[in-house]
């Protein structure tokens, strides 16, 4: 090999470069939290949720520990469990299907479009039919917005309405993307996103959020987030 042509690898995600650029602001923000000692769901979380809601156009945003928790909490809040089927794409991170198994339901996999790598609507229809033929109760669809590309929501929403299924959008890789002029966050009953460092809006650590326009679901999610606690910490 010609040594003069050898190139150093370029990191896909260079957190150290982000740290150099944003470090001082992040240090100041962390110091403020350390000073006021409200470490869990403090004022910064409340403000961040409000900012996210305004940005995406959702009525409610619930912060949580990770994108995986965001998906899991919605399934828990909707009482998805044994005997239920949740339709997932074959091409996604394992968490999309993992959370379905964690609540005791069955993930049913459907093909993706060869151009977008997102859920294929025709395969979605077949997957729902297959779930019913196997004696399962289809409850939800989890489309995934891979590589910042929104799924085909015109087709998916139409199928979901016809089949009386709710949509839980896995927008871990799609935060900030738009579909027909609307930002992701309001195309289903709920949208989950991730703040893992490699995601579009990454953090130094891990985190996630759920977007919804459903006030009742939002209230349940806020309770699920703190192990079933009510609006008062002693409730």
User: Which domains, from first to last, does the chain contain?
Assistant: 57-225 (3.40.640.10)
Residue 135's H or E segment, with its range, is: none
199 catalytic, yes or no? yes
By CB atoms closer than 10 A (0-12, 13-18, 19+), residue 200 is middle
pLDDT in tens, 131-164: 999 999 999 999 999 999 999 999 999 999 999 9
Q: pTM of the full predicted structure?
A: 0.92
Statement: residue 235 has pLDDT above 90: no
- Asked if residue 1 has pLDDT above 70, the reply is no
CA-to-CA distance for 122 and 79, rounded, in angstroms?
Answer: 27
Task: Give the Cα separation of 52 and 45 in Å (integer).
Answer: 10
- CB 201 within 8 Å of CB 175: yes
The gap from C-alpha 220 to its chain's centroid, in whole angstroms, comes to 17
Of 92 and 10, which is predicted with more confidence?
92
Contact assessment for residue 86 and residue 98, using Cβ atoms and an 8 Å cutoff: no
User: Residues with Cβ < 8 Å from 56, sequence gap 6 or more?
Assistant: 183, 184, 185, 186, 191, 211
Secondary structure of 109-123 as H, E, C letters: EECECCCCCCECHHH
Active-site pick, 25, 132, 199, 233: 199
Q: pLDDT by residue (tens digit) across 68-113?
A: 999 999 999 999 999 999 999 999 999 999 999 999 999 999 999 9
Q: How far is CA 104 from CA 85, 86, 126, 149, 224, in A?
A: 10, 11, 22, 30, 17
Dist. CA 58–CA 61, nearest whole Å: 7
Q: Are 224 and 218 in contact (CB under 8 A)?
A: no
| Residue 2 confidence (pLDDT) | 63
């Amino acid at each position: 090999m010609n040594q003069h042509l050898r190139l150093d690898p370029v990191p896909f995600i260079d957190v150290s470069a982000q740290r150099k650029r944003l470090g001082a602001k992040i240090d100041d923000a962390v110091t403020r939290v350390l000073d006021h000692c409200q470490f869990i769901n403090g004022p910064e979380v409340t403000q961040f949720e409000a900012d996210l809601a305004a940005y995406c156009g959702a009525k409610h945003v619930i912060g949580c520990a990770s994108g995986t928790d965001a998906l899991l909490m919605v399934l828990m809040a909707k009482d998805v469990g044994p005997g239920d089927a949740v339709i997932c794409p074959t091409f996604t991170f394992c968490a999309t299907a993992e959370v379905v198994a964690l609540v005791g339901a069955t993930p049913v996999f459907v093909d993706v479009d060869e151009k977008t790598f997102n859920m294929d609507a025709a395969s979605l229809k077949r997957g729902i039919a297959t779930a019913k033929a196997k004696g399962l109760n289809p409850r939800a669809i989890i489309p995934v917005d891979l590589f910042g590309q929104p799924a085909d929501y015109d087709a998916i929403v139409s199928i979901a309405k016809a089949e009386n299924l709710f949509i839980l959008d896995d927008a871990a890789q799609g935060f900030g993307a738009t579909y027909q002029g609307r930002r992701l966050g309001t195309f289903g009953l709920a949208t989950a996103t991730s703040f893992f460092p490699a995601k579009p809006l990454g953090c130094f650590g891990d985190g996630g959020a759920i977007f919804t326009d459903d006030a009742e679901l939002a209230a349940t999610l806020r309770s699920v987030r703190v192990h079933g606690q009510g609006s008062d910490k002693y409730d």
